[in-house]
Amino acid sequence: MADLSFMSKFHNSDPVMVQSIVKKYGELDANRDGMLNFKECSELLRQGDDTMTDREIRSLFDSIDTSGTGRIDLTEFTSYIFEVQPEGSDRDKQIEEMRAKSREYEREVNQVEIFGASMCTELNGDYILETSRTLNGKPVFDRGYPQATIFYGFTEGHKQRGWFVAKKAPSDGKAVIRYKMFSPSPFAATPDKCAACWQGPAGRKDKKMVMQAADREEYDVGNKEGFGKSNEYFGNAEEEAQAEAEEEQAKFGETYEQDAGGGDEEGDWNSEWQNEAGEALIDNDDDNGVYEKDQAEGDSDDEANNEWTDASFPPEESSLGPKGGKESGAKGWARLSSLHDHACIFQVVTPEDVRGDQQESHKWFLSALACMAEYPAWVQSIFGNAKCTKLPVDHKYSVRLYHPGKKSFVRVEVDDHVPTRDGAPVFAGIDQMGEIWAPIIEKAFAKLCRSYHNAGWGSVAYGLLYLCGGGGAESWTRKQRGAWARSYTLWKGQANETIDRKRAEGFVTDGVEVGQATFWLTLQQYMELCYPVCLTADKVKAKKAGLRVDRAYSLISTQEVETQYGRIRLLRIRSPGQSGVWKGRWSDDSEAWVDCPAAFNACKFKVSDGKAFWMSFNDFMRYFDTVDCVKKSMPIQGCKYSKLDSFKDGLKKYGGGY
* pLDDT, tens digit (0-9, with 9 covering 90-100), for 141-174: 999 999 999 999 999 988 889 999 999 999 999 9
Query: Quick count: other Cβ atoms within 10 Å of Cβ 459?
Result: 20
Instruction: Please give the pLDDT value at position 299.
Output: 46
- Residue 650 phi/psi, 5-degree rounding, is -65, -40
Torsion sign over Cα 68, 72, 73, 76: positive
Instruction: Please give the pLDDT value at position 249.
Output: 56
Q: Could you give the CA distance from residue 359 to residue 361 in angstroms, rounded to a whole number?
A: 5
Q: Could you give the CA distance from residue 174 to residue 593 in angstroms, rounded to a whole number?
A: 50
Angle between helices 74-83 and 54-64 (to 10 degrees): 100
Instruction: Please give the pLDDT value at position 41.
Output: 84
Share of the chain above pLDDT 90, in %: 57
The distance of Cα 545 from the centroid of its chain, to the nearest Å, equals 26
Nearest one of 3, 514, 429 to 255, comparing CA atoms? 514
Nearest one of 229, 230, 245 to 516, comparing CA atoms? 245
pLDDT class of 387 with cuts at 50, 70, 90: low
Instruction: Please give the pLDDT value at position 577.
Output: 77
Q: Which CATH architecture has domain 230-259+516-657?
A: Alpha-Beta Complex (3.90)
Q: Could you give the CA distance from residue 516 to residue 235 in angstroms, rounded to a whole number?
A: 12
The model's pLDDT over 207-250, given as tens digits with 9 standing for 90+, comes to 889 999 886 556 777 889 999 999 999 999 999 998 888 776 56
pLDDT class of 271 with cuts at 50, 70, 90: very low
Which comes out higher in pLDDT, residue 237 or 58?
237
Q: Could you give the CA distance from residue 387 to residue 344 in angstroms, rounded to a whole number?
A: 9
Residue 607 has pLDDT above 70, yes or no: yes
Mean pLDDT in residue range 560-587: 93
Residue 400 parent element (H or E): strand 397-403
Residue 531 has pLDDT above 50, yes or no: yes
Mean pLDDT in residue range 518-522: 96
Q: Enumerate the domain spans of the chain.
A: 5-105, 111-217+265-294, 230-259+516-657, 300-465
Query: Quick count: other Cβ atoms within 10 Å of Cβ 554?
Result: 23
Supply the Cα-derived Rg of the chain in whole angstroms: 25
**The CATH number of the domain covering residues in 5-105:** 1.10.238.10
Which comes out higher in pLDDT, residue 12 or 499?
499
Q: Could you give the CA distance from residue 566 to residue 175 in angstroms, rounded to a whole number?
A: 57
* DSSP symbols for 484-532: EEEEEEEE-S---SS--HHHHEEEEEEEEEE-HHHHHHHHHHHHHTT--
* E strand intervals along 340-491: 397-403, 408-414, 417-421, 424-425, 473-478, 484-491
Beta bridge partners of 182: 164, 199
Mean of pLDDT over the chain: 84
Instruction: Please give the pLDDT value at position 216.
Output: 58
Kindly state the greatest CA–CA separation across the chain: 76
pLDDT class of 34 with cuts at 50, 70, 90: confident
Comparing 106-120, 320-334, 408-422, the range with the smallest average pLDDT is: 106-120
Q: Could you give the CA distance from residue 41 to residue 54 in angstroms, rounded to a whole number?
A: 11
Neighbour-count burial of 210, counting CB atoms closer than 10 A to its CB (0-12 exposed, 13-18 middle, 19+ buried) = buried
DSSP state of 344: B
Nearest one of 471, 537, 466 to 498, comparing CA atoms? 466
Instruction: Please give the pLDDT value at position 455.
Output: 97
Comparing 72-81, 136-145, 148-157, the range with the smallest average pLDDT is: 72-81
217-225 own/partner pairs: CB under 8 Å, 24+ apart = 217/604, 219/601, 219/604, 220/597, 220/601, 221/601, 221/602, 222/601, 223/597, 223/598, 223/600, 223/601, 223/602, 224/562, 224/563, 224/564, 224/598, 225/563, 225/564, 225/596, 225/597, 225/598
The model's pLDDT over 367-379, given as tens digits with 9 standing for 90+, comes to 999 999 999 999 9
Residue 256 has pLDDT above 70, yes or no: no
- Residue 115 phi/psi, 5-degree rounding, is -140, 160
Comparing 11-25, 171-185, 323-337, 605-619, the range with the smallest average pLDDT is: 11-25
Residue 610 has pLDDT above 80, yes or no: no
Q: Could you give the CA distance from residue 90 to residue 81 in angstroms, rounded to a whole number?
A: 18
Residue 268 has pLDDT above 60, yes or no: no
Beta bridge partners of 36: 72
Which comes out higher in pLDDT, residue 275 or 600?
600
Query: Quick count: other Cβ atoms within 10 Å of Cβ 394?
Result: 13
What is the three-class DSSP state of 628?
strand
Comparing 124-133, 211-220, 582-591, the range with the smallest average pLDDT is: 211-220
Q: Could you give the CA distance from residue 177 to residue 279 in angstroms, rounded to a whole number?
A: 8
Strands 281-282 and 178-179, bridge-based pairing: parallel
pLDDT class of 476 with cuts at 50, 70, 90: very high
Q: Could you give the CA distance from residue 638 to residue 212 in angstroms, rounded to a whole number?
A: 10
Q: Could you give the CA distance from residue 652 to residue 163 in angstroms, rounded to a whole number?
A: 27
Q: Could you give the CA distance from residue 643 to residue 648 in angstroms, rounded to a whole number?
A: 9
DSSP state of 276: P
The model's pLDDT over 408-424, given as tens digits with 9 standing for 90+, comes to 999 999 999 999 999 89
pLDDT class of 389 with cuts at 50, 70, 90: low
Instruction: Please give the pLDDT value at position 606.
Output: 82
What is the three-class DSSP state of 615?
strand
Between the ranges 71-75, 311-315, 352-356, where is the mean pLDDT highest? 311-315
Residue 89 has pLDDT above 80, yes or no: no
Residue 277 has pLDDT above 50, yes or no: no
Nearest 5°: the CA angle 76, 79, 82 is: 150
DSSP state of 635: P
Q: Could you give the CA distance from residue 440 to residue 416 in angstroms, rounded to a whole number?
A: 7
Neighbour-count burial of 587, counting CB atoms closer than 10 A to its CB (0-12 exposed, 13-18 middle, 19+ buried) = middle
Q: 167 CB contacts (<8 Å, ≥6 apart)?
A: 147, 148, 149, 178, 180, 283, 285, 291
Residue 46 has pLDDT above 60, yes or no: yes
Cis peptide before 146 (omega within 30 of 0): yes
Query: Quick count: other Cβ atoms within 10 Å of Cβ 146?
Result: 10
Q: Is 387 left (phi over 0), alpha (psi -120 to 50) or beta?
A: beta
Residues, the chain: 658
Instruction: Please give the pLDDT value at position 469.
Output: 96
Q: Could you give the CA distance from residue 343 to residue 391 in angstroms, rounded to a whole number?
A: 8
Looking at residue 417, its amino acid is: H
Instruction: Please give the pLDDT value at position 149.
Output: 97
Q: Could you give the CA distance from residue 503 to residue 501 in angstroms, rounded to a whole number?
A: 5
Share of the chain above pLDDT 70, in %: 82
Q: Could you give the CA distance from residue 240 to residue 251 in angstroms, rounded to a whole number?
A: 11
